Chain A
Amino acid sequence: MRDLSLHILDIAENSITAGAKKIVIRIAEDEEKDVYSISVEDDGPGMDDKMRSKVEDPFFTTNGKKKFGLGLPLLKQAALECDGQFNVRSGTGEGTTIFASFKRSHIDRKPLGDIGSTMLALICGHPQTRYILFYEKDGFRYGFDTDALTESLEGMPVNIPEVLMSIRNSINESVGGRDRSKPAAGVPDCANRQKEMKRNRRKSVE
């Protein structure tokens, strides 16, 4: 996965497969505490303790066709690599919440990426589910709710291309513009360093 919005899409797809009717996605960025966190909460059937303890295992899956399930392990790995935390809260009949946090300034912390496209793919693929998105950054708050949107659509389905595209664009305008996270100061500029090393090598050959 190249960015966090792809992880979010992946985890939300799990919720839908499990039978969730409502999915709440939370993205929070705290510059002061240096934390970047994402969570996906659903109202699906939830998992018992036995299953909950297995989902972080890459060789566990509920899909009978294959022998592995990498979605959660990949997110866990991404979070732990960035000095973050990962946890799965769930209980039978209580829904499931997947939480992952990252050290915001960590050089390996993936950017949020195209969250608007993620929402487009979710709504287009499963329009009957209700999606709520919260984005929070240092006092700025943004919220999106497909139920509120349905009201203003006056009977028009939410999954027609024009509506989907304006949802994507308005989310990206509001959220994407604020997520200009760069590596922290003092982190070496890798691309330029590689070029420099190449140049030096060429010089020494000559």
Chain B
Amino acid sequence: MPKLSVDDLKRIKEQYESTFNLRQGGYRAKVTVHMGTCGIAAGARAVMNSLVEELAKTTARDVIVTAAGCGGICSKEPMATVEILGAAPVKYVHLDAEKIKRIFREHIEQGNIVEEYALVVGKETSY
């Protein structure tokens, strides 16, 4: 069994309950990290880990991180799609652990799209 100690869990639980009210309104932002074979080989796992670490540093509890398959543009992996409630989704390409932190701070927290890393705004499908 995992070596997660009871104290650890208690501490996490207390923190969680103190921020629980912020979650009641559902999720405000959703980040989808593309985890196909291409994404994983290009470093999507590090991107996701970095994002979770960044999330843990803040009290923002209205952000959901999820995974999806190949986005169809393998040469531009690792990619992530950021959807803020009420705004068009933004697809970011060629990410790494540092870039996703900047996207988290500027786009998810403040609402300013990081144009440097963005590929497209709005829904687009590649076939």
B-contacting residues of A (Cβ < 8 Å)? 1, 6, 9-10, 13, 17, 63, 65-66, 69-71, 74, 114, 117-118, 120-121, 124-126, 143-145, 148-149, 152-154, 156, 159-168, 170-171, 173-174
Contact = CB atoms under 8 A, between A and B. Distances in A.
Given A121-B49, A152-B9, A13 B3 contact: no
Contact-residue size bin, chain B (C-beta under 8 Å from the other chain): 35 or more
Contacts of A126: 66-67
A95 to B, nearest CB: 20
Contacts of B105: none
Contacts of B112: none
Contact of A121 (B2, B4, B48, B69): B48
B53 A165 contact: yes
B54 to A, nearest CB: 8
A144 B3 CA distance: 9
Nearest to B37: A71
A120 B48 contact: yes
B95 interface: no
A6 B97 CA distance: 16
Interface string B1-30: 111101011001101100000000000000
8 contacts: A1-B41, A9-B40, A63-B70, A66-B74, A121-B67, A149-B4, A152-B6, A160-B61
